[in-house]
């Protein structure tokens, strides 16, 4: 498989990791909602169900950055990048310091091959999250830096992500393998 194929595979694996991490740590939806809507908005890989549940949460409780961020991830996984960006933008409009929205939009921009925008969003997510509750921002910035052939910075970000979230080891090892088999930066 080519280096580009390895990086794409590592990116897809990273998205799954992010969805898991969001489920466990990030999304907060008010308890007044029915449990199934809350849970479906923050869990699972049935992206249509996640989108519907998050839409229900938003309709029921109003504008919640976490619901928009979660729906952004679902749209990203369905490769509906325009809607994903719109949801991330809405989350940021509601709370400009909502770091998960910047990290989510980084993934969208990575998939759209808009790497400068992706790096800027990961940088912002990291800046807004000094306690490192969203280590996947380092994971995705690592992947974008690989695409940009900035291998030294990519390795540093991969190492930081592994330090912060050991569950990230498998997808990041794929990234490291890609780096090991890539030609040196010009």
Structure tokens at 3: 């280096």
Instruction: Show the domains of the chain with their CATH numbers.
Output: 3-180 (1.25.40.10)
Higher pLDDT, 4 or 54: 54
Confidence (pLDDT) at 17: 41
Instruction: Give whole-number Cα distances, 149 to 46, 48, 75, 135, in Å.
Output: 34, 35, 28, 21
What are 54-99's pLDDT values in tens digits?
Answer: 999 899 888 889 899 999 999 999 999 999 999 999 999 999 999 9
Mean per-residue pLDDT, 6-29: 42
What are 101-143's pLDDT values in tens digits?
Answer: 999 999 999 999 999 999 999 999 999 988 877 788 888 898 8
pTM of the model: 0.72
pLDDT of 13 > 70? The answer is no
What are 137-186's pLDDT values in tens digits?
Answer: 888 898 899 888 999 999 898 888 888 877 656 555 555 555 555 555 54
Within 10 Å of residue 186's Cβ, how many Cβ atoms?
Answer: 4
Q: Where are the alpha helices (DSSP H) in 112-186?
A: 115-128, 136-147, 151-164, 169-180
Confidence (pLDDT) at 169: 60
Instruction: Give whole-number Cα distances, 21 to 15, 37, 177, in Å.
Output: 10, 19, 23
Confidence (pLDDT) at 158: 84
């Amino acid at each position: 498989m080519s280096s580009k194929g390895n990086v794409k595979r590592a990116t897809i694996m990273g998205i799954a990791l992010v969805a898991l991490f969001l489920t466990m740590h990030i999304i907060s939806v008010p308890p007044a909602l029915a449990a199934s809507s809350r849970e479906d908005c923050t869990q699972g890989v049935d992206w249509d169900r996640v989108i519907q549940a998050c839409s229900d949460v938003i309709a029921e409780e109003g504008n919640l950055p976490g619901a928009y961020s979660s729906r952004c991830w679902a749209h990203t996984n369905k490769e509906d990048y325009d809607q994903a960006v719109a949801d991330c933008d809405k989350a940021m409009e509601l709370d400009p310091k909502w770091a998960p929205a910047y990290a989510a939009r980084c993934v969208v921009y990575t998939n759209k091959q808009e790497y400068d925008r992706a790096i800027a969003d990961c940088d912002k997510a990291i800046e807004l999250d000094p306690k490192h509750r969203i280590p996947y921002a380092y994971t995705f910035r690592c992947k974008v830096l690989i695409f940009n052939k900035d291998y030294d910075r990519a390795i540093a970000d991969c190492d930081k992500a592994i330090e912060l979230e050991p569950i990230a080891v498998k997808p990041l090892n794929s990234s490291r393998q890609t780096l090991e088999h890539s030609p040196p930066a010009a």
